[in-house]
Amino acid sequence: MQREGITTLDELRVVADQIHQFEGIGLKSAQAIQEKLARMAQPEERRSGKE
C-alpha cells in the first residue's frame, strides 16, 4: 500500500474494491482488509453487541 501512496484509512476505503490488484496483496489479504473496513464502518453499538 505504501507503493500505492495509501497513507490513511480514508484512502484505503476508496480503493478497497481494487486492493486485490495491488502487488503483494493476495485475495485472502484483500478480503480480510475489506471485512475489517466494513466492521469499522458499523456504528459502535452494533460492533460491541449493544443495541
User: Global pTM?
Assistant: 0.72
Of the two residues 51 and 20, the one the predictor is more confident about is 20
Residue 51 lies in a domain: no
- The boundaries of the domain holding residue 27 are 9-42
Q: What is the pLDDT of residue 49?
A: 62
Q: Note the pLDDT of residue 20.
A: 93
H-type alpha helices, the chain = 9-15, 27-41, 44-48
Residue type, 6: I
Number of compact structural domains in the chain? 1
With 70 as the cut, is the pLDDT of residue 50 above it?
A: no
Determine, yes or no, domain membership for 50: no
For residue 22, give the amino acid letter. F
Give pLDDT, residue 48. 61
Tell me, yes or no, whether 47 lies in a domain: no
- Could you tell me which of 29, 47, 37 has the C-alpha nearest to residue 9? 37
**Are the C-beta atoms of 19 and 25 separated by less than 8 Å?**
yes
CA distances from 10 to 6, 13, 22, 51 (A): 9, 5, 17, 27
For residue 49, being part of any structural domain is answered with no
